[in-house]
Chain A
């Protein structure tokens, strides 16, 4: 091991999988070894059994689907609002000066604290779930996209100007392509947050979804089901993360080489 030396792809996979093994082994040891009572923490085996019954008897796949739908929907709405606005704010300083103070304030508003209000405004339907995600991510996303677009290399903008580009052309041909890889990276991050918001939204006033299932399981003190639900979220998160990374590498080969 030397600082900052790259690791081979094979070793990376082995090491990455290795920690999962260590983690599950520690979990198994704690539960099968009797260190933690089953009431508080289900063993890996019991969790799998609970998961199987959830999937076969309680239509958990439907819950998963509805939660994914909410995450993707809320995330897309937030991204469609935040990315264009953030690009404009980053590129044009008067627009930034107009919006930035309010958004810097708004991004500290905790999305979960809006849930009671949102239930009042939008009921307990899908609109409320999506709103929680949008409120939770849109302000952060605007601020981050603004930062990225605002950090476009000035010398590239100047080069474009000497080649005949002006205003909108600079935005379209320099600021946007320069910012795109980092914006994609930010979207990947925000998608992860959207998952935490959707579960919070589903814990309160929901009749379906992974969060709702976890709440139900708590009433039955079924830690196996709860852990399975949480693990499913983690697995979906991991898979989308890998897909997102692969997509970014394909879309922006110039940024990777």
Chain B
């Protein structure tokens, strides 16, 4: 269970132009907060600055203005208290599945036995038993992202930042991964910021959906998801789900149209 409150306060990001290209305003002043243990989905069209926002929270990128606070402490750089699963596959190719999951534990200098115990637990929870000694190359995309999730979770972060972790997977695998993630979250209640452009995914998983506008991104709407946990896939067939979906589709279609017109 997470204990700290995340506050993103008026965060802006402008990427400087190169040569004669104009600077890109990727993120307009954005304010987001997440209570301890909350699952917040961030929904927006491609290029609206979702990854930029998440990278700033992770400390991998610096805001042009504004700040990110964990309780009262400003975020100045990346740290093990904010675990991240990236949009692309980022397992270390020279480490096996088990070694990848132990990466952060080894960095903290935990004793071998404890590392093995924790890694074993997350290997089991992400359904990777039997693949401990495989190289990342030998895994399917879904397994790689499960391993990346296990690697982030094993580090026991306050906040989990997930940047379209299932974006590259096929529909069926994706749904299974969503259920797996939900199961883990329901048990651990860690604060999650989950970036996606999939409406169903956002509703199915989260307490709250933040809709971002087309670039330059800002939070244009906030939709609470009052569906009770634990949820399973049948929730997707309920009228409540359909109503939320209709509402979010209305919000997002407009933005997608704008972002396509802007290209």
Contact = CB atoms under 8 A, between A and B. Distances in A.
Interface of A: 153, 155-156, 158-165, 169, 173-174, 177-178, 180, 252-255, 257
Nearest to B83: A162
B92 A162 contact: no
Given A159-B86, A162-B84, A163-B103, A255 B79 contact: no
Pairs of residues from A and B, 6 with the lowest C-beta to C-beta distance, nearest first: A164-B80, A163-B104, A161-B78, A159-B90, A162-B84, A177-B94
B78 A254 contact: no
Interface residues of B, number: 30
B190 interface: no
B207 interface: no
B151 interface: yes
Contacts of B107: 163-165, 169, 173
B94 A162 contact: no
7 contacts: A158-B86, A162-B58, A163-B107, A163-B152, A177-B95, A178-B94, A254-B136
A249 to B, nearest CB: 14
Nearest to A176: B94
Nearest to A181: B94
B155 interface: yes
A118 to B, nearest CB: 40
B78 A155 contact: no
Interface string B50-89: 0000000011100000000000000001111011101010
Contact of B90 (A155, A165, A169): A155
A161 B135 CA distance: 21
Nearest to A165: B107
B253 interface: no
Contacts of A173: 103, 107
A180 B92 CA distance: 13
B108 interface: yes
B60 A164 contact: no
Contacts of B58: 162
Nearest to B96: A254
A197 B137 CA distance: 40
Interface in B148-179: 148, 151-152, 155, 161
Contacts of B78: 158, 161-162
A161 B81 CA distance: 11
A253 B133 CA distance: 12
Interface in B173-207: none
A124 B222 CA distance: 81
Given A162-B60, A162-B84, A156 B135 contact: no
Given A254-B135, A257-B135, A162 B82 contact: yes
A257 B80 contact: no
Contacts of B108: 164
Contact of A252 (B84, B94, B95, B104): B94
B143 to A, nearest CB: 15
A178 B151 CA distance: 18
Nearest to B80: A164
Contacts of A174: 92
A257 B137 contact: yes
A162 B138 contact: no
Contacts of B90: 153, 155-156, 158-159
Contacts of B127: none
Contacts of A177: 92, 94-95
A164 B93 contact: no
Given A254-B93, A257-B135, 18 more contacts: A156-B92, A158-B60, A158-B78, A158-B84, A159-B148, A160-B103, A161-B60, A161-B77, A162-B58, A162-B78, A162-B79, A162-B82, A162-B83, A162-B84, A164-B79, A173-B103, A173-B107, A178-B93
Given A164-B108, A257-B135, A159 B94 contact: no
A185 to B, nearest CB: 15
B152 to A, nearest CB: 8
A122 B107 CA distance: 48
A163 B151 contact: yes
